[in-house]
């Protein structure tokens, strides 16, 4: 039998610190602003200072590129939904807690004043109804902005089924909004999150994008001496996809991301490797996918956004649908297209230089700027601190032709492969 998400008579509310521990821990599965993984270290017991294990603070980037620390919590981990991959689902047997609006406001202001954070990332399980939950989330942001004149960064996780007016209000107070698409395919969503509606998720993303565009146009056309037009989520919207909870391959995941970037101009798609949760539902994989898969997806995502790659070039049809784990996707593409190389650093177009393994966007811009006034010599690559072992087999420049480096595809691939790693360090590992 499914237990009610919130008992009719609420149990006595745990003290604030206990609630903070529960609701910061419950928020850690949301990758939308997660810190990168690292080894477990802890100063409990008075040994040293600091800890990598505590939850509750994450990092995000503001529209002007600053990295900010955010208090990352749920308003509540009670939830009426039963998304199988989620530790907070109604059938999960975990300690529950709920903050009041006032408690989240106080915590945010207290941490902010103590210089621990520069903003708030707030998400929530769904209680009573999507509208009720969204109202509570928006109210936190409203009180912070209007009653406390809070100028810090606010990222609100929105609920796609909530009324459009509530999503519109959220955008007036938040810097960034996000709606989780959750799973890469409609089939996966129907199977693992039966109460969620893929059409509603995309509809909400479309409405948010329309508001963001309107606000941006109004800001551009506002007369210089008038008050600036009201902002709407100036840091845009983002989403998260869980990787490895269903059978979707990397090709399907990247196709979904490409569609989301193209259609809703999302700032980021976050990939969250499914991690087996306590009290997991049957039908979920027993083991997490290798975290390096998540890393390869981020690299592929970067190639689509900044390097001019189409998603179906990165994982072409018939290639098994998965990114190589032992080669980064750009190197894998270059090895599969050896006929396009070597690229002449003195003549090749920008588009081809961007496809050279080891050359980043900034390096390519510097090479293009330099070659307007002089020729590029291989020694310039050393001065640019590029990884020579990866770059040299794919380029020519004064003083360098790949020559002997042009060995067979397999020999070159062997040289460029990353050293085998059993498993990446995982900040959130449970065992």
CB of 180 to ligand SF4, least distance (A): 7
Residue 114 neighbours by CB distance under 10 Å: 8
Q: Is 86 in the site for ligand SF4 (CB under 6 A)?
A: yes
| Least distance in angstroms from the C-beta of 423 to ligand SF4 | 25
Residue spans of alpha helices (H) in 174-320: 186-192, 198-221, 250-264, 291-306, 311-314
Interface region with ligand SF4, contact rule CB under 6 A, candidates 86-94, 221-229, 317-325, 346-354: 86-94
Q: Among the candidate windows 47-55, 79-87, 229-237, 285-293, which touches ligand SF4 by CB under 6 A?
A: 79-87
Q: Which of 157, 191, 390 is nearest to 281 (CA)?
A: 191
| 215 contacts ligand SF4 (rule: CB under 6 A) | no
**Does residue 252 interact with ligand SF4 by CB under 6 A?**
no
Report residue 312 as tokens: 């179906």
Q: How many residues does the chain have?
A: 431
Q: To the nearest whole angstrom, how small is the minimum distance from the Cβ of residue 79 to ligand SF4?
A: 3
Of the candidates 340, 345, 338, the one whose C-alpha atom is nearest the C-alpha of residue 359 is 345
Question: What minimum distance in Å lies between the beta carbon of 77 and ligand SF4?
Answer: 7
Q: Is residue 364 at the binding interface for ligand SF4, with CB under 6 A as the rule?
A: no
For ligand SF4, which stretch binds (CB under 6 A), given 76-84, 212-220, 367-375, 421-429? 76-84
Cβ distance 149 to 173 under 8 Å? no
CB 59 within 8 A of CB 35: yes
72 binds ligand SF4 (CB under 6 A): no
DSSP 369: H
Closest to ligand SF4 by CB, 130 vs 329, is 130
Tell me how far apart the terminal alpha carbons of the chain are, to the nearest angstrom: 30
Tell me: does residue 122 bind ligand SF4 (CB under 6 A).
no
Specify the stretch interacting with ligand SF4 by CB under 6 A; choose among 49-57, 75-83, 107-115, 262-270: 75-83
Cβ-based nearer residue to ligand SF4, 126 or 297: 126
As a dihedral over the C-alpha atoms of residue 345, residue 346, residue 352, residue 357, rounded to 10 degrees, the angle is: 10
Half-sphere exposure of 329 (CA within 13 A, CB side): 29
Judged by CB under 6 A, the residue of 58, 68, 83, 391 near ligand SF4 is 83
Instruction: To the nearest 10°, report the CA torsion of 34, 35, 41, 45.
Output: -70
Q: Is 298 in the site for ligand SF4 (CB under 6 A)?
A: no
Residue 178 as a binder of ligand SF4 (CB under 6 A): the answer is: no
Q: How far apart are CA 311 and CA 301, in angstroms?
A: 8
Given the rule CB under 6 A, which residues bind ligand SF4?
79, 81, 83, 86, 88-89, 125-126, 193
């Amino acid at each position: 039998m499914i237990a009610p998400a919130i008992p009719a008579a609420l149990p006595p509310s745990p003290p604030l610190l206990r609630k903070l521990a529960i609701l910061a821990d419950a928020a850690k599965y949301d990758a939308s602003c997660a810190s990168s993984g690292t080894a477990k270290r802890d100063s409990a017991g008075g040994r040293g200072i600091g800890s990598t294990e505590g939850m509750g603070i994450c990092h995000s980037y503001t529209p002007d590129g600053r990295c900010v620390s955010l208090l990352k919590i749920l308003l509540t981990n009670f939830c009426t939904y039963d998304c199988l991959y989620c530790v907070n689902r109604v059938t999960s047997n975990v300690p529950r807690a709920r903050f009041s609006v006032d408690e989240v406001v106080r915590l945010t202001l207290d941490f902010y004043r103590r210089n621990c954070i520069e903003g708030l990332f707030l998400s929530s399980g769904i209680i009573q109804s999507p509208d009720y939950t969204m109202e509570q989330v928006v109210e936190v942001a409203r009180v912070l902005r209007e009653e406390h004149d809070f100028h810090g960064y606010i990222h609100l996780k929105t609920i796609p089924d909530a009324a459009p007016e509530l999503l519109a209000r959220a955008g007036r107070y938040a810097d960034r909004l996000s709606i989780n698409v959750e799973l890469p395919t409609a089939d996966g969503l129907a199977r693992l999150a039966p109460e969620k509606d893929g059409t509603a998720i995309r509809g909400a993303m479309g409405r948010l994008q329309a508001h963001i565009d309107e606000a941006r146009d109004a800001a551009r056309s506002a007369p210089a001496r008038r008050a600036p037009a009201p902002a709407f989520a100036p840091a845009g919207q983002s989403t998260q996809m869980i990787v490895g909870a269903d059978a979707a391959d990397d090709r399907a995941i990247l196709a979904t991301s490409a569609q989301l970037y193209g259609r809703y101009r999302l700032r980021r798609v976050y990939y969250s490797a499914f991690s087996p949760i306590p009290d997991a539902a049957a039908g979920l994989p027993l083991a997490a996918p290798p975290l390096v898969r998540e890393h390869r997806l981020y690299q592929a995502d970067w190639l689509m956004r900044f390097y001019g790659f189409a998603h179906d070039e990165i994982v072409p049809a018939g290639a098994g649908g998965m990114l190589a784990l032992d080669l980064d996707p750009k190197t894998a593409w270059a090895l599969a297209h050896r006929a396009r190389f070597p690229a002449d650093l003195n003549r090749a177009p920008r588009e081809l230089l961007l496809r050279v393994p080891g050359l980043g966007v900034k390096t390519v811009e510097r090479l293009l700027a330099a070659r307007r006034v002089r020729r590029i010599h291989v020694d310039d690559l050393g001065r640019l601190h590029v990884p020579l072992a990866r770059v040299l087999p794919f380029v020519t420049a004064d003083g360098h032709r790949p020559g002997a480096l042009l060995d067979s595809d397999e020999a070159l691939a062997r040289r460029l492969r990353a050293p085998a790693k059993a498993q990446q360090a995982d900040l959130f590992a449970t065992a």
